Amino acid sequence: MNNSIETVYILENPEKKIIRFATGSQIRYEDVIKEVYGVASIQDLPMMIQFNKGFHDSICEKYGIKGNNISIDKLIRVASKGELLQFKNQLLEKTMEEVKGSSGLVVEIPCPFNTTIRLQEGIFEWNDNNFSYDLKTSA
């Protein structure tokens, strides 16, 4: 992983109950949009919102909004530290399931993104001691 500062986004498809975390690069160059929404690109989402009634209604229900007030930023937004902690817990659960039955094993979570990332609250750096991102303080 390189040391550039990537923004981490949360992508959510309430119809299929999919939540995925991804960096800007992953959204641009990988099939993340297709995995979460079933469309080829972000540009296809407005059409999907307009013409896929189930998808449209699930967004309205989740966010308590009316028909034509849906914006893409409800579906793809910059993740918060709290949301990233939710992601950490998912990774931890997955890792625990994989090592189930192994005694005396220390569970480590590898750095899931770049070592320095941007979230809603600011710039965060990976901490190998507690396997999480800590808010970067100015020197």
b/e map 62-79, b = 16+ CB within 10 Å: eeeeeeeebeeebbbeeb
Q: How would you classify residue 101: left for phi > 0, otherwise alpha for psi between -120 and 50, otherwise beta?
A: left
**Predicted structure pTM score:** 0.84
Each residue's pLDDT tens digit, 78-113: 999 999 988 888 888 887 777 776 655 666 788 899
Each residue's pLDDT tens digit, 27-46: 998 999 999 999 998 999 99
